[in-house]
């Protein structure tokens, strides 16, 4: 695709100046673990060579930063997730990152961020992603400081179930479902991102149980906290329950604690506090309680959620009302925990 407008040509001109920009870096040789100095292209140069103009930072993770960008090839805004492998531990480089690069490009669903492509340069990976300009749901919930309005709540829950249903149907599990990994697009629809802990069960043997305990503790199911081999699909369902509870109340369902046993006691007793300002229907409360079934064998599947009375009442699957995005909210004091851990 080519555009001859003045802004396009000016932007292209700017990119051409960055194409060979480089900086001295200390790199680690993966083979022998030794460090050496080398001149490497800057992020701006790597992407300029692909006609991509980098803009402001959208978010940061443990080993990644995500930047807004503009793709002059396709004339569209994009997001670029940049991972510096030299800063990441071995298991991340050898296990989780290859899975993210393998699984994500295979996924095509309206409620999942598309990975268009990825670039490998020196010790860095650049994931070229569909852009969601409404920011993530953690920032959103902090901004509204309460439950998600009715008009969005059920639709968003449905969209999350549709995305996860699509994945589970294909034997793909996400394992890091949480507010930070759910984005709002320009039409106010939900898009799931971050396949850093995902797994394609089709590539494994007969045993579908997981033994890697990843994700955030606040969203972790009892079997994960107990350190037992677990059905990863049912662990995704538990995390969906945590997300739904936050949608309905604006609060976390379980208080975080360093000690797993304290959290497990809350999972067992299930004394959920429904905030007074949130008018939660009995059907919705019952759905949440069913999701938080301690025994994963009895916990509902994603199809059970899609078919549940509360969710199946509404037919809509996309946002139908006018919506103007206000400026995003960033760097707030996060009342709701956003730590990513692997334990």
Ligand X SMILES: Nc1ncnc2c1ncn2[C@@H]1O[C@H](COP(=O)(O)OP(=O)(O)O)[C@@H](O)[C@H]1O
Residues tagged active-site: 176
Our finding on whether 62 is near ligand X (CB under 6 A) is yes
Q: Which residues pair with 57 in a beta bridge?
A: 67
| Residue number with CB closer to Mg ion (61 or 110) | 61
Quote the least distance from Cβ 7 to ligand X, whole Å: 22
To the question of whether residue 51 is assigned a binding role by annotation, the answer is no
Q: How far is the CB of 103 from Mg ion (least distance, A)?
A: 14
Q: Does 59 bind ligand X (CB under 6 A)?
A: yes
Whose structure tokens read 């971050």? 194
Q: Choose, by CB under 5 A, the member of 71, 100, 194, 223 that binds Mg ion.
A: 194
Cβ atoms within 10 Å, residue 40 = 17
Q: Is 43 near Mg ion (CB under 5 A)?
A: no
81 binds, among Mg ion, ligand X, none (CB under 5 to 8 A by kind): ligand X
* Three-class HEC string of 129-190: EECCCCCEHHHHHHHHCCCCCHHHHHHHHHHHHHHHHHHHHCCEECCCCCHHHEEECCCCCE
SS (H, E, C) 260-299: HHHHHHHHHHCCCCCCCCCCCCHHHHHHHHHHCCCCCCCC
In angstroms, the Cα distances linking 48 to 36, 71, 125 are 26, 10, 15
Check binding of 181 to Mg ion (CB under 5 A). yes
- Shortest separation between residue 137's beta carbon and ligand X, angstroms: 9
CA dist 316 and 112 (Å) reads 17
Side-chain-side CA neighbours of residue 172 (13 Å): 23
Binding partner of 319, given ligand X, Mg ion, none, CB within 5-8 angstroms per partner class: none
User: Given the rule CB under 6 A, which of 58-66, 116-124, 284-292, 298-306 is the region that contacts ligand X?
Assistant: 58-66
Q: Does 287 sit near ligand X (CB under 6 A)?
A: no
DSSP assigned state of 100: H
Q: Is 69 in the site for ligand X (CB under 6 A)?
A: no
Residues forming contacts to Mg ion in the complex (CB under 5 A) are 61, 181, 194
**Given the rule CB under 6 A, which residues bind ligand X?**
58-59, 61-62, 64, 66, 79, 81, 113, 129-132, 136, 180-181, 183, 193-194, 196, 340
């Amino acid at each position: 695709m080519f555009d001859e407008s003045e802004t396009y040509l000016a932007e292209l001109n700017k990119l051409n100046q960055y194409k060979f920009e480089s900086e001295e870096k200390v790199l680690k040789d993966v083979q022998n673990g030794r460090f050496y100095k080398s001149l490497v292209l800057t992020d701006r140069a790597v992407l300029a060579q692909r006609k991509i103009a980098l803009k402001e930072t959208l978010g940061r993770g443990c080993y990644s930063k995500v930047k807004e960008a503009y793709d002059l090839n396709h004339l569209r805004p994009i997001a670029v997730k940049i991972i510096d492998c030299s800063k990441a531990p071995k298991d991340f480089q050898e296990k989780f990152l290859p899975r993210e690069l393998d699984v994500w490009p295979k996924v095509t669903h309206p409620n999942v961020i598309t990975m268009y492509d990825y670039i490998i340069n020196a010790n860095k990976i650049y994931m070229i992603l569909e852009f969601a300009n409404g920011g993530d749901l953690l920032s959103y919930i902090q901004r509204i400081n309460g439950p998600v309005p009715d008009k969005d709540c059920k639709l968003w829950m449905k969209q999350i179930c549709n995305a996860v249903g699509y994945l589970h149907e294909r034997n793909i599990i996400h394992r890091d479902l949480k507010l930070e990994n759910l984005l709002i697009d320009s039409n106010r629809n939900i898009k799931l991102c971050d396949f850093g802990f995902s797994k394609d069960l089709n590539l494994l043997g007969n045993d579908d149980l997981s033994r890697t305990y990843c994700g955030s503790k606040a969203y972790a199911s009892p079997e994960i906290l107990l350190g037992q081999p677990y059905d990863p699909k049912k662990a995704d369902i538990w995390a969906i329950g945590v997300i739904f509870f936050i949608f309905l109340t604006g609060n976390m369902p379980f208080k975080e604690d360093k000690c797993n046993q304290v959290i497990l006691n809350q999972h067992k007793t299930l004394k959920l506090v429904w905030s007074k300002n949130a008018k939660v229907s009995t059907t919705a409360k019952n759905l949440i309680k069913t999701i938080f079934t301690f025994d994963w064998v009895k916990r509902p599947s994603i199809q059970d959620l899609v078919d549940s009375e509360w969710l199946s009442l509404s037919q809509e699957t996309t946002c139908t009302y006018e919506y103007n995005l206000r400026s995003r909210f960033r760097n707030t004091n996060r009342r709701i925990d956003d730590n990513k851990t692997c334990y």
